[in-house]
Amino acid sequence: MTEYDAIVVGSGPNGLVAALTMAEAGRRVLLLEGAPRFGGGLRSEELTLPGFLHDVCATVLPLSVASRALRDRLPELGVEFAHPEVSAAHPLDDGPAVLVHRDPARTAAALGRDGRAWQAAVGATARAGFPLVDTLLSPLGLPRAPLAAARYGALGALPATVLARALFRTAPARAAFAGMAAHSMLDLRSPITGGYGLLLAALAHSVGWPVVRGGSQVMADLMVERLRKLGGETLAEHRVTSLRDLPPAASVLLDLSPRQFLAIADLPSGYARRLARFRHGPGVFKIDWALDGPVPWRDPRVSRAATVHLGGTLEEIAAGEAATMRGRPATRPYVLVVQPCVADPSRAPEGRQTLWAYCHVPNGSTYDMAPHIEAQIERFAPGFRDRVLARHVMSPAAMQAHNPNYIGGDIGGGAADLTQFFGRPVHALKPWRTPLKGVYLCSASTPPGAGVHGMGGHHAATLALRDQR
């Protein structure tokens, strides 16, 4: 006789969705988390000074608004999203910044002769709406929007460098697209990187790039609260070292990386070898700052965007990401900057701001990227360092110490190139199901991969419920 219908190990977005899906189906659920607080990549802490609240990892959450695992569930839980006036900004050295607005027509108008191409590619992807997003977040299922998916696939299969040059004639439009595509943490000359840029830019129009009011931790806390109301049990600071030590359960769902799964399970040798071949992508080097006021951007309009992409031109961004993939830190890296107080002033004392930024580095890198990150910010915001009250630095090793799923600082749960886009963590029709009866993987190392969308947890839990029946 089983003690639980389901045990979920790990409380990142996927683990939380898996636990809620099982509990909402009437199953008795136990959620286990090794850290003191639930949430995984959704945790928020006062990393610098009292009163300054920082998201340790995820802040800007368009996929949370768009994903079918979360888009209806989060409003019911009381999660409130705060939208900046501008979804994203891309400063340039020799001209005004490119601003990506919620309105694609307004964005296109600012791009001049590339506006029509932006509308035809990015705008059309945005207009395809949730059916296309649902198709892309269920990559092994039947498409809900086959025509839109086919059109998206024809463009998205291309490398970002090729697609940007094919679509756009001007440097600003190409640069803005490169900033979107570089979220992939891949060499932008690689296949499917165009798809990452296309989807993220489209989400900026269709749902926006919002933050959670009060910090990302609020989302995790409300999901845990809902689980408890459904009768689920939760236990933090409980690190699982062996599956044999778990209480009896009909299903075990693991929001863990393949490496962690290998460490706690006795797996068939063939599957274990395949799992051991799973490749992790670059790590991140992250800095959080407490500031005495807004960032002094050279183009003041950048202060209206919560997300800022730094790196200059398409060519410069592509060169930096290529160097990272070859194992060399870039001296002028692509830097992702988030200024959450633009949308949610509650995260800092009145008149002050929080800021964070990271760049991509080779997996497990020990190189100090802090001077290079701050130099890139100073490049587009002279006098930035004078605003800094305190800083908190996290190397790839520190990222992994904070969240063991981030192997070598890889916040994406594994390289998301063409080979591993579908074969996560192994090539299988149902990759969430493992050879161990009733044991499933549901982390970002399973389809559809990285992002706060919860779909890995949704797919694994749906499969577990089907198997139980």
In this predicted model, what pLDDT tens digit does every residue of 312-331 receive, in sequence order? 999 999 999 999 999 999 99
Average pLDDT over residues 191-196: 97
Region for residue 320 given its phi and psi (left: phi exceeds 0; alpha: psi -120 to 50; beta: otherwise): alpha
In the prediction, which pLDDT does 342 show?
97
The closest of 260, 206, 225, 235 to 444, measured between CA atoms, is: 260
Q: Using a pLDDT cut of 70, give the percent of the chain over it.
A: 100
pTM: 0.96
Q: Could you give the CA distance from residue 461 to residue 16 in angstroms, rounded to a whole number? A: 11
Residue 242 has pLDDT above 90, yes or no: yes
Average pLDDT over residues 199-226: 98
Average pLDDT over residues 132-154: 92
* Per-residue pLDDT tens over the stretch 351-406: 999 999 999 999 999 999 999 999 999 999 999 999 999 999 999 999 999 999 99
Whether the CB-CB separation of 447 and 459 falls below 8 Å is answered with yes
Whether the CB-CB separation of 159 and 188 falls below 8 Å is answered with yes
In the prediction, which pLDDT does 271 show?
97
Average pLDDT over residues 296-308: 98
Residue 70 has pLDDT above 70, yes or no: yes
Distances (CA, A) of 398 to 53, 73, 237, 347: 19, 32, 18, 23
> For residue 335, which amino acid is it?
V
Residue 42 has pLDDT above 70, yes or no: yes
> Which element (helix H / strand E) includes 323?
helix 314-325
- Is the torsion defined by CA of 341, 344, 348, 350 positive or negative? positive
Using only C-alpha atoms, the chain has a radius of gyration, in whole angstroms, of 21
Q: Could you give the CA distance from residue 215 to residue 60 in angstroms, rounded to a whole number? A: 10
> Which element (helix H / strand E) includes 440?
strand 439-441
Q: Could you give the CA distance from residue 10 to residue 120 in angstroms, rounded to a whole number? A: 41
Q: Cβ-count burial of 95 within 10 angstroms (0-12 exposed, 13-18 middle, 19+ buried)?
A: exposed
> Where do the domains of the chain lie, and which CATH numbers do they carry?
4-42+215-279+414-468 (3.50.50.60), 81-211+282-402 (3.90.660)
Whether the CB-CB separation of 17 and 232 falls below 8 Å is answered with no
In the prediction, which pLDDT does 140 show?
85
Q: In angstroms, how far apart are the furthest CA atoms of the chain?
A: 69
Average pLDDT over residues 62-67: 98
Q: Could you give the CA distance from residue 452 to residue 444 in angstroms, rounded to a whole number? A: 9
The CA dihedral of 136, 114, 88, 455, to the nearest 10 degrees, is 0
The closest of 281, 110, 304 to 196, measured between CA atoms, is: 281
In the prediction, which pLDDT does 422 show?
81
The closest of 214, 222, 220, 210 to 77, measured between CA atoms, is: 222
In the prediction, which pLDDT does 248 show?
95
- Is the torsion defined by CA of 131, 132, 136, 140 positive or negative? positive
Whether the CB-CB separation of 245 and 239 falls below 8 Å is answered with no
Instruction: Tell me the β-bridge partners of 8.
Output: 31, 253
Q: Could you give the CA distance from residue 248 to residue 439 in angstroms, rounded to a whole number? A: 12
Residue 165 has pLDDT above 80, yes or no: yes
Do you find a cis peptide bond into 75, omega within 30 degrees of 0? no
Confidence of residue 2 (pLDDT cuts 50, 70, 90): low
Residue 1 has pLDDT above 60, yes or no: no
Average pLDDT, the chain: 97
Confidence of residue 251 (pLDDT cuts 50, 70, 90): very high
In the prediction, which pLDDT does 469 show?
86
The closest of 435, 443, 432 to 465, measured between CA atoms, is: 432
Q: 437: which DSSP letter?
A: T
Per the document, the length of the chain is: 469
Whether the CB-CB separation of 397 and 285 falls below 8 Å is answered with no
